[in-house]
Amino acid sequence: MSTDVLDLSTLSGVGPATIEKLSSCGFANVMAVAVATPGEIATATGISEQAARKMISQARDAMDMGFEDGSQCLVKRQDVFKIKTGSTEFDKILGGGFESSAITECFGQYASSKTQLAHQLCVNLIKNDPDAYAIYVDTENTFRPERIVEMAHGADMEPQDVLSHIKIAKAYNSDHQMILAEKVNDLIDDGLKVKLVIIDSLTSHFRAEYVGRGTLADRQQKLNKHMHVLSRLANTHNLCVYVTNQVMARPDCFFGDPTESIGGNIVGHNSTFRIYLRRGKKGTRVAKLIDAPNMPDAEAIYEVHSEGLVDTKEGK
C-alpha cells in the first residue's frame, strides 16, 4: 500500500471522534501523524503527550519509516519533477528547473524579479501538467492576474485555463499565513492536484510584527515552525515550494555586496536551494545559486519581458 494513503482507522485505539479531530487539524492520514510532534497531536486531540507519542510510534511502525539504502532513495528520486523558469540559463544552474520535494528560496531587493518568477512558475507548471494546481499565498498584494494573462499568451496557452488552476489567498498577518500553509493539506485531501506552493513573501509579516532584538527569539521560533510545515508539504506530497524573501544591508560589511536575506539561519537551513536575485546591466537580471545539495555555485543572466522570463540575446 502507498505510504501516503494509509487511513487513520488502521491505527488501533484511534476512534471516529479522534479521527475527526485529527482530520480537522490537518492530520488526515497515517503519514501526517507519523511526521507530527507529540505536542501537535496532543493539541489537536486533547489526549496526553504520552498517548500522543504512542500514536505517533504506531503510525511510524505502520509506515516503515526506518533506514533505507541508497538504491531505494535513488528510485524514489525518480518521482522528482522540475518546473522550468523560461530561461535555459536559469534552468541550467538548477539542474533543469525548480525541484519538487524541496523548498527553493529566492531573495533580493525590490524589482529583482522574485514575483515575476513566481508568476512564471505557475504558468510553466500548468503548461507542463494541465491538471496541476498552484497555490499562491500573497502577503504583499503582489499577485496580478493580468501578468498571468500576458505570460499565458507568451506560452501559447488559454489564460482562463491557467488562472482557473491557481488558488490565491491573501495573508493579513503571520498567523494567517501559517494557517493558509497548513490548509494546503486540506485541498490535497479534497482531491486537488497541488504541485506548487508559493509564499510571496515569506518574511514580510514576521518582520513587521516582531520588532526589536527582544522579539527575535519568538520570531525565529515561529518562522521555524512555518518552514517545517512547508518542508513537510514538499516531502509528503512531492510538490515544489517556492518562497520569496526580503533582504537587508549588513552594516558591518565594508567590502563586496552587503545584501543579506531576512530570517537568518532558520530560513537558510530549512531551504533546499537558495538563490540570490539582483538587477544586472541593461535591464537584465542575475540569478546566483548560493546553496544547493547537488549543484555547484553558479550564475545565470536572463531578462524579464512581457511574455515572461527569457534568455538574454547575447547569452552568457
- Mind giving me the DSSP string for 79-105? T--EE--S-HHHHHHTTSSEESSEEEE
Q: What Rg do the C-alpha atoms of the chain give, in angstroms?
A: 20
So what's the pLDDT on residue 208?
A: 94
Are residues 168 and 27 part of one domain? Answer: no
Q: CATH number for the domain including 272? A: 3.40.50.300
* 227 is a domain residue: yes
What pLDDT is attached to residue 221? 95
Question: What does the pLDDT read at residue 24?
Answer: 85
pLDDT confidence of residue 314 = 63
For residue 74, CA distances in Å to 64, 154, 307, 316 come to: 18, 36, 37, 32
- The answer to whether residue 3 is domain-embedded is no
Query: Is 178 part of any domain?
Result: yes
Whether residues 208 and 307 share a domain: the answer is: yes
Structural domain includes residue 169: yes
For the domain that residue 41 is a member of, what is the CATH number?
1.10.150.20
Each residue's pLDDT expressed in tens, for the chain with a length of 316 residues: 344 458 898 898 899 999 999 988 878 889 889 888 999 999 999 999 999 999 999 999 888 777 889 998 899 899 999 999 999 999 999 999 999 999 999 999 999 999 999 999 999 999 999 999 999 999 999 999 999 999 999 999 999 999 999 999 999 999 999 999 999 999 998 999 999 999 999 999 999 999 888 999 999 999 999 999 999 999 989 999 999 999 987 666 656 676 788 898 999 999 999 999 999 999 999 999 999 999 999 999 999 999 999 999 865 4
Do 37 and 93 lie in one domain? The reply is: no
Q: Are residues 48 and 83 in the same domain?
A: no
Q: Domain of 130?
A: 76-311
Residue 140 lies in a domain: yes
pLDDT at 218: 94
> Residue 65: its pLDDT value, please?
75
What lies within 8 Å, CB to CB, of 158 at 6+ separation is: 152
Looking only at the bridges linking them, the beta strands covering 133-138 and 194-200 are parallel
Same domain, yes or no, for 263 and 296?
yes
Does residue 2 sit within a domain? no
Please give the backbone phi and psi of residue 299, each rounded to the nearest 5 degrees, phi first.
-125, 150
In this structure, are 36 and 158 located in the same domain?
no
Q: Is 220 exposed, middle or buried (0-12, 13-18, 19+ CB in 10 A)?
A: middle
Q: Is 256 helix (H, G, I), strand (E, B) or coil?
A: coil
Structure confidence at residue 316 (pLDDT): 46
Residue 47 CA to residue 315 CA, distance in Å, equals 60
pLDDT, position 2: 41
Instruction: Reply yes or no: is the peptide bond before residue 201 cis, omega within 30 of 0.
Output: yes
Residue 316 lies in a domain: no
Do 51 and 170 belong to one domain?
Answer: no
Q: Are residues 50 and 92 in the same domain?
A: no
Final residue before a domain boundary, out of 63, 92, 108: 63
Question: Both 211 and 176 in a single domain?
Answer: yes
| Cα 124 → chain centroid | 16
Same domain assignment for residues 49 and 165: no
Residues 57 and 111 placed together within one structural domain of the fold:
no
Counted domains in the chain:
2
Q: What confidence score (pLDDT) does residue 164 get?
A: 98
In a domain, 71, yes or no: no
pLDDT of residue 213: 86
Kindly state whether residues 36 and 176 are assigned to the same domain: no
